[in-house]
């Protein structure tokens, strides 16, 4: 399970540890956008190390 960074401030992008960047493997990323679908949440993330943007999918129950 991903952990929210302790220094989170209201209004700033969500910073998450736990999802590895496909390029550099860094586990610190920001959630830039969330798209809710019937069976999954799609999240656009940005790696804090190499700045690559990538999508992840999380199944909803």
Q: What would the pLDDT profile of 8-17 be if each residue is shown by its tens digit?
A: 455 556 666 7
CA–CA separation, 61 and 28 (whole Å): 26
**pLDDT for position 35:** 95
Whether the model clears a pTM of 0.75, i.e. scores above it, the answer is no
Q: How far apart are the first and last CA of the chain?
A: 15
**pLDDT for position 19:** 87
Residue 57 pLDDT greater than 50, yes or no: yes
* Domain boundaries of the chain, sorted by first residue: 14-59
């Amino acid at each position: 399970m991903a952990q929210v960074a302790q220094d989170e401030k209201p209004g700033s992008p969500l910073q998450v540890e736990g999802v590895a960047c496909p390029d550099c493997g860094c586990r610190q990323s920001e959630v830039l956008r969330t798209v809710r679908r019937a069976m999954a949440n799609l999240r656009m993330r940005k790696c804090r190390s190499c700045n690559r943007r990538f999508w992840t999918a999380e199944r909803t129950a």
